[in-house]
Amino acid sequence: MGYPMAVNLVKGLGSSKSFLTVNVNQEALNEFQDEVKGFGKVSVVQNVYEATKAAYIVITILPTVTAVEAVYLDPNTGILAGAIAATTYSSPTNKLLIECGTIETAIIKKLAEAVEEASLKMSNTLSFVDAPVSSSPMGAIAGSLTFIVGVHQANVITSVAAAEALNIGVKAGLDLKLLLDVINGDAEFAEFE
């Protein structure tokens, strides 16, 4: 599932964005690079630690609990270690971590707690999303997956409030793009028409 998801992401990103990839299967990695050649900037990194240090968004779709725990929690090469290391480099520190595998609830809660704990050490710059996908490899190839998204309760409340603000603004005749810029904190860059 991850391979076709990654192909669709690269094809949809455009040439202005970079896509970092990690895969333990070198043959799959070579195939992937060939398939997406010409669609955007794709870089291969050694491990998720390096990818996380450099990325704003980290998406994983891992097959087992053991893999999820190792990839996220390994103190030397894991995602959280990379996120913490990013604070000492000139790397982006605001990071969105998304796990798309179908993983046991207890493990997802463990990851969410570990991310929250690490985030507190980093001035609340990490967000974790549990987003298992519902479909088949054919759905991944077609780009028609359904994501079942779970986030921290505070994120839900904030999203509902923002949705209400957008709804009220549109009904009041405000420009949607301008309203989004203001809500996202980009008011100084908003284009006033």
Q: At residue 159, does pLDDT exceed 80?
A: no
User: In sequence order, what DSSP letters do the residues of the chain get, joined into one string?
Assistant: -HHHHHHHHHHHH-TTSEEEE--S-HHHHHHHHHHHTTSSEEEE-SSHHHHHHH-SEEEE--SSHHHHHHHHH-TTTSHHHHHHHHTTTTS---EEEEE-S---HHHHHHHHHHHHHHHHHTTS-EEEEE--EES-HHHHHHT--EE--B--HHHHHHHHHHHHHHHHHHHTT--HHHHHHHHTT-GGG----
* Distances, alpha carbon 77 to alpha carbons 34, 41, 70, 83, in Å: 27, 24, 9, 11
pLDDT tens digits for range 23-73: 888 999 999 999 999 898 999 999 999 999 999 999 999 989 999 999 999
**Per-residue confidence at 151, pLDDT binned at 50, 70, 90?**
confident
Q: What is the pLDDT of residue 184?
A: 72
**Per-residue confidence at 193, pLDDT binned at 50, 70, 90?**
very low
Q: What is the pLDDT of residue 60?
A: 94
Q: What is the pLDDT of residue 186?
A: 52
pLDDT tens digits for range 87-109: 887 766 789 999 999 999 999 99
Q: What is the pLDDT of residue 181?
A: 79
